Amino acid sequence: MIHGSGMLSIWFFIGLILLVYGAIIVVATIITPAPPGVVLTSVHAGLWWGGFLFLVGLFYVIRFRPGSGRS
């Protein structure tokens, strides 16, 4: 996907977006308590989902980083 100098892979930017969204979800889940009456609060779905997005984003950022020679 890197076709010339100055061109970056779209997967790198997708990884950045997933990384940022995952971090936002994890922080928001930690800071904001669950409202009363939520049935599955003990599962901590926000932490799991945010952590998953963060790890996938981290994989894409490392795998498709500029200058790595991979496309």
Segments making up each domain of the chain, as ranges: 10-63
Look over the chain and give the mean of its residue pLDDT values, rounded to a whole number: 89
C-alpha to C-alpha distance for 59 and 17, rounded to whole angstroms: 12
Per-residue pLDDT, 53: 98
The 10s digit of each residue's pLDDT in 45-66 is 999 999 999 999 999 999 999 8
Query: Looking at per-residue confidence, does 35 or 5 come out higher?
Result: 35
Torsion of CA 49, 53, 58, 59, to 10 degrees: 100
39 pLDDT band, cuts 50/70/90, is confident
- Cα 21 from Cα 6, distance rounded (Å): 26
Residue 19 reports pLDDT greater than 60: yes
